[in-house]
Amino acid sequence: MAFEFTDPPYDYKALEPHIDAQTMEIHHGKHHRAYYDKMAAALKDSEGWMMSIDRLLGGVSSMGSAVRNNAGGYYNHNIYWTSMSPDGGGSPQGALATEINRSFNDADELKKEMANAGIGRFGSGFAWLIVQNRKLKIISTPNQDNPLMDVVDDSHRGAPVLALDVWEHAYYLKYQNRRPDYIAAFWNVADWKSANARFEAAMDEKE
Ligand code: MN3
């Protein structure tokens, strides 16, 4: 199967007022689209275009910077859109909620640590909640790198549960230089249901 460019599972205006419609339109329609188009151009007619995304990213060190940057951008935004929902916010759900309480004491502490990871990321990148060795962990990656890539240090590898885009294009129109305010607003739309589904899938994988 080849990679496809898909819409977020909600309208551009659905995350208002926390994430504004114009940001969504440009972020998905221009930025994410460009990552996809450049990924397609870099991989077209190659074996990589038919790989699973996990396998592609897991071997990205041998594929050059165009694939690293654009396949990363393609994948990261798919996780980011589904880390948010108009029905999001509130408290973590299911097995993920139990594990968050075990690992972080409570959801507020997780939010604080993930905000620190996003605020502390110099320049552009992502903050992530991942499963690593069957445990939850918060990390950040630069640019469009992600926890599935073999170019990333072992301490940052794992299965994504939540992705938080901290590139300026994710928040500048509404929040200007106030990255912490954007991150605080993210929790109002955080999709704990899909996060729990990713968490459970990662825990079901055989090591
Ligand atoms: Mn982005």
Mean pLDDT of the chain: 97
Map tokens 């110099």 to a residue: 122
92-126: pLDDT as tens digits: 999 999 999 999 999 999 999 999 999 999 999 99
**Cβ atoms 162, 140 nearer than 8 A:** no
Ligand 1 centroid to 93 CA: how many Å? 26
Q: How many CB atoms lie within 10 A of CB 204?
A: 7
Please give the share of the chain, as a percent, with pLDDT higher than 70. Answer: 99
Collapse the DSSP code of 113 into the 3-class scheme (helix H, G, I; strand E, B; otherwise coil) and give the result.
helix
Instruction: Write down the pLDDT at residue 45.
Output: 85
Position 36 pLDDT exceeds 60: yes
Distance CA 69, CA 77 (A): 12
CB atoms near residue 158 (< 10 Å)? 23
Query: How close is the Cα of 80 to the center of ligand 1, in Å?
Result: 8
Q: What is the mean pLDDT of residues 53-77?
A: 97
CA of 118 to the centre of ligand 1 (A): 13
Q: Is the pLDDT of residue 201 over 60?
A: yes
Q: Is the pLDDT of residue 206 over 80?
A: no
Q: What is the pLDDT of residue 18?
A: 98
For ligand 1, the distance from its centroid to the CA atom of residue 12, given in whole angstroms, is 14
pLDDT value, residue 101: 98
pLDDT interval class at 2 (50, 70, 90): confident
* pLDDT value at 207 more than 60: no
Question: CA-CA distance, 203 to 187, in Å (whole number)?
Answer: 24
Interval between CA 1 and ligand 1 midpoint (Å): 25
- 187 Cα to the center of ligand 1, angstroms: 17
The C-alpha atoms of residue 22 and residue 175 are separated, in whole angstroms, by 12
C-alpha–C-alpha distance, residues 192 and 162, integer Å: 9
Q: pLDDT tens digits, residue range 123-179?
A: 999 999 999 999 999 999 999 999 999 999 999 999 999 999 999 999 999 999 999
Residue whose tokens read 């968490």: 199
- In the prediction, which pLDDT does 84 show? 98
Could you tell me the pTM of the whole model? Answer: 0.97
- 118 phi and psi angles, rounded to 5 deg: -75, -40
Q: How far is the CA of 53 from the centre of ligand 1 (A)?
A: 18
Biggest CA–CA distance in the chain, Å, is 49
Nearest partner of 166 among 145, 183, 149, judged by Cα: 183
How many A from CA of 11 to the centre of ligand 1? 17
